[in-house]
Structure 1
C-alpha cells in the first residue's frame, strides 16, 4: 500500500502547484473521564499517509527542493509506550511511511515555516482541532506581514477538500478490494441474522451475533452503530437502543455494516420476524423493493447522480397514491414534498473510508455525473410512523399501515458497463424473505 499512498500524494501535489498542504491527525476522543475511545484516524490523513496515530501532522511541499513529504510525529518514549502502546517514532516515519523528512511533533512551530515561506498559498481544512487551526493561522499571518518586504509567501488559505475529496470519490482497485471484503463480511453477518431472528429474541442478541462475525473476520468493528429495529422501532431512522424483545408479526429492520482496514460497508434488510409478512407489510415491501431495483438500474456512467433518488422517489410516490396513503397528482406531490412524512431521507450516499463518504452530489445547479470507480448506497424506504401527521391537504393514514418501517440498502459500484452490487449476497426478493 505504501506505493499507493505515494501515488496519492504525488497526484495531490501535482494539483496544488506551488502551494503547501497541511494535514492534522484526528484528536483522541474521550469516552468518559480518563477513558478514551479506540483511536480512529482522520480519513484524509489516512488516505495520504496510512499512519494511524494521534498527535501527527503531514505536510506536502511540492516546491521544496529536498523535502516534498514531511511528517511530524510523536517521538519514541518507552515510558509512555508502556502505558499507551508503541508509536512509530521519527526514524520509522521515514523508513516505513516514506517521509522525505520527519521531526518530533514538538518541533512543529520551529520547522514548519521553512515549508511555508516560499509557497504561494496554504492548503488546509479548518477542523475540530481549534488549537491547531490557530497554529496554522498564526504561521500564515506572520508570513503575510512580511510579504511586502519579501515579495513571496502564501497570500491565501484554501480548503483542500475541493481537490482531495474529488480524488477520494473514485476508488482504486486496492480500495475496491477492501470494500469488497467489508461487504462480504457484512453479507455473512446479515445472513446469520436472518437465520437466528425469531419471536422472543432480543434485538441486542442479533446485534451481538452480527458484530461477532465482523470481528471474527478481521474487521475493526461496526462501521457505525448497528441498527436492529423491530416493530415500530423500524420507523426510527437511527434507532440504536436495540433493547426490545421481538414479537410475532413484527418486521425487523437491520442496518449494519463493518469497517475493514478502514473501508466500510453499509447494508439494510427488512424481513418478518415470524417468517411471514402480513398483507400490508408485503405490499409496502414490494413497493420499496421495486423502487430500489429501478434506482439501481440508473447507476451507470454518464447518468446524473440525482437520477437515482428521483427514480426511487417517483416509484414510492406512485405506489403511495395507489394505496391511498397520498392523494393527488404525482408530479405535484413530489414538487411540494407531500411524501416527506413517510420518506424523509435521500436514496443514498457515497461510501468509502467514511460511511457517509466525502464528495459533492452536484455542482451548483448542475448534477454530478457518475463515473466508474465511485461507490454509493441505494436505500429507499417507507416509514409509517405511529401518530405521524400527514402533510397539509393529505389524508390520514389508515391504521393498518401504522408502525411499518421498511428500508432496503445495497452498496453499488459504478463500472464501465453499468454497476456491480457489492452486497448482492444478502437475499431481498420477497419469496426469499419468508420462511
Structure 2
C-alpha cells in the first residue's frame, strides 16, 4: 500500500502540510505570539502613518482599540484587535488609543496605553511598560490610557476636522464632543479649533485596497493553511457525520498550522441548510444524498482567507445536481478570467451572471434567452448575492466598490473573492423538483497581478472529479 499523508489529505496537498507548530512563547502585552514571526516581512506601519498625516493636513485622527467583548457574564471572547488601529500601528491588544495630528509640528503620533497592573496581569498575562510600547510602535509621545480624558482635548485643540467614528468608544465620544464644543471659542480666539467630525474610512479604506507585499505574504499563508485544512476536512464528509465534526476538523487544521483560528464563523451546511447563505448552526447530521457546502477560511497574523466548496456526501455527483454544479463552476471560471488590471468587480460579477443565466436556461429552470434573463434579472431568486468582496484584515474588507468616476478599477495588489452560487430553497417555488433543497457555491481568493491575476486558493480543485479525489484519498 502506498504511503499516505494526514487523514483525508489529497496527495497533491500533502507536501503543503507543515509539521504542527510548537506552542508560542508567553505573550507580552501588545505583541501577539506569531508562528515563525522571524520569517514574516515587516509591515510598514510608519509609512502608512506618514501617508495619513499628509492627508490629514490640519486635521487629526483618533483610533481606539476594540473593546473586550463578553460571551456571557464575565466570560470573554478571544480578543480580536480593531483592524484600522492594527493597520496603522500593529497594536493587537485592548486598552490603547492612537492619535494622529496632521496639524502639529511635534508629537504627531501620540499613544495612550494602559499602565501595568499586577492584579490584572495575574489574570490576563504580563504587560509591557507604556514607554516600551511607545518605542516599539514608533510613537512620538506616550501617555497612560487613564490620562486620555484629561489630555486629549488639548492635543486636539490646534486642529480642524477630527477623523473619528462616533460610537466606537464612550470615552472618545465624550472627548470629541467636548473638543467640538470648545472649537468655536478656540477658533474665535486663536484661528484654529475642531469644527467637524469625519469617518476615518474616508482616508483609510482606499489605502487598504492595495495590499503591501508583506500583507500578501500573510494572505498567501492564510490561503495555504486554509487549502491544507480543507484537504483534511473533506475526508470527513460522509453520511451520518455531524456538520460540527467537519467544522472541528477544519478549525483544528487552521490552528494546528499556526493560524489565529477561523477568520469568520465556519459554515458547514448539509442539504437544504446550504440555501441559507450565512447558515452557521452546524448542528445537523449529513444525510446519504446530501450535498455539503463548506464556507470557511483561516486567519493568519490577522489576515483572512475565504474558501467555499460544495461536495456530495456520497463522493459522487450526478443527475440534476451535477448540472447545477457545472453551471456554478462555469460561472466561477468566467469570473476568474475577468479578474484583470483595469477591470472592475462589476465586470467580474457580470461574467458570472451571464454564465448563471445561460446555465439556468440550458437546464430548463428558466425560459428565454441568456440576454432576456440578465435584463429581467430573473436569475436573482437563485443567485441573490454579488460575486465578490474585498479581502484582507477583515473578511469583508474595507474599501470602496465605486467612486465618483464609477466602479473602482482593479489594480495589482488588490485581493478579493470570487464566489458565484445557485440556491433552490425548499418551498420557494422556482426551480425543478429534483433541484429543491440544493445549494451550491464555489469560492476562491484572487490577487490581481501586473500580468492578470492569481488564485491564491487554487490548490483546492473546483472540478467535481478532482474534488471527489480529495474526499476519498
Unaligned runs of 5+ residues in structure 1 are 391-396
Residue 139 of structure 1: how far off its partner (Å): 1.5
**Inter-partner Cα distance in structure 2 for 1:13 and 1:366:** 27
**Inter-partner Cα distance in structure 2 for 1:258 and 1:205:** 17
Aligned to 1:393: none
Secondary structure at the residue paired with 2:62? Answer: strand
**Inter-partner Cα distance in structure 2 for 1:340 and 1:20:** 44
Residue 431 of structure 1: how far off its partner (Å): 1.8
Residue 144 of structure 1: how far off its partner (Å): 2.4
Aligned to 1:194: 234
**Inter-partner Cα distance in structure 1 for 2:231 and 2:98:** 41
Q: Residue 150 in 1 paired to residue 184 in 2?
A: no
Secondary structure at the residue paired with 1:112? Answer: helix
Alignment of 1:232-251 (within 5 A): 232-251=272-291
Q: Residue 425 in 1 paired to residue 459 in 2?
A: yes
Alignment of 1:260-271 (within 5 A): 260-271=300-311
**Inter-partner Cα distance in structure 2 for 1:348 and 1:151:** 47
Residue 130 of structure 1: how far off its partner (Å): 4.4
Aligned to 2:267: 227
Aligned to 2:106: 66
1:75-130 Cα shifts (integer Å, max 9, x gaps)? 11112211222333321122211111100111112222332222132222224334
**Inter-partner Cα distance in structure 2 for 1:290 and 1:273:** 22
Aligned to 1:204: 244
**Which of 293, 297, 304 is equivalent to 2:337?**
297
**Which of 255, 258, 271 is equivalent to 2:298?**
258
- For the 8 Å contact 2:268–2:280, the answer to whether it is kept is yes
**Which of 96, 111, 128 is equivalent to 1:88?**
128
Residue 42 of structure 1: how far off its partner (Å): 0.8
**Inter-partner Cα distance in structure 2 for 1:88 and 1:309:** 47
Higher relative contact order (CA 8 A, sep 6+): 2
Alignment of 1:22-421 (within 5 A): 22-364=62-404, 366-390=406-430, 397-421=431-455
> Between Structure 1 and Structure 2, how many residues are aligned?
429
1:199-228 Cα shifts (integer Å, max 9, x gaps)? 222111111111111111111111111111
Residue 365 of structure 1: how far off its partner (Å): 6.8
Residue 2 of structure 1: how far off its partner (Å): 6.2
**Inter-partner Cα distance in structure 2 for 1:306 and 1:146:** 47
**Inter-partner Cα distance in structure 2 for 1:333 and 1:379:** 20
Instruction: Report the TM-score when normalising by structure 2.
Output: 0.87
**Inter-partner Cα distance in structure 1 for 2:410 and 2:139:** 34
Larger mean Cα displacement after TM superposition, 104-113 or 262-271: 104-113
Tell me the C-alpha RMSD between the 2 structures. 1.6
Unaligned runs of 5+ residues in structure 2 are 1-40
Runs of 4+ in 1 over 6 A off after TM superposition: none
Residue 314 of structure 1: how far off its partner (Å): 1.2
Residue 430 of structure 1: how far off its partner (Å): 2.4
**Inter-partner Cα distance in structure 1 for 2:124 and 2:465:** 52
**Inter-partner Cα distance in structure 2 for 1:430 and 1:197:** 15
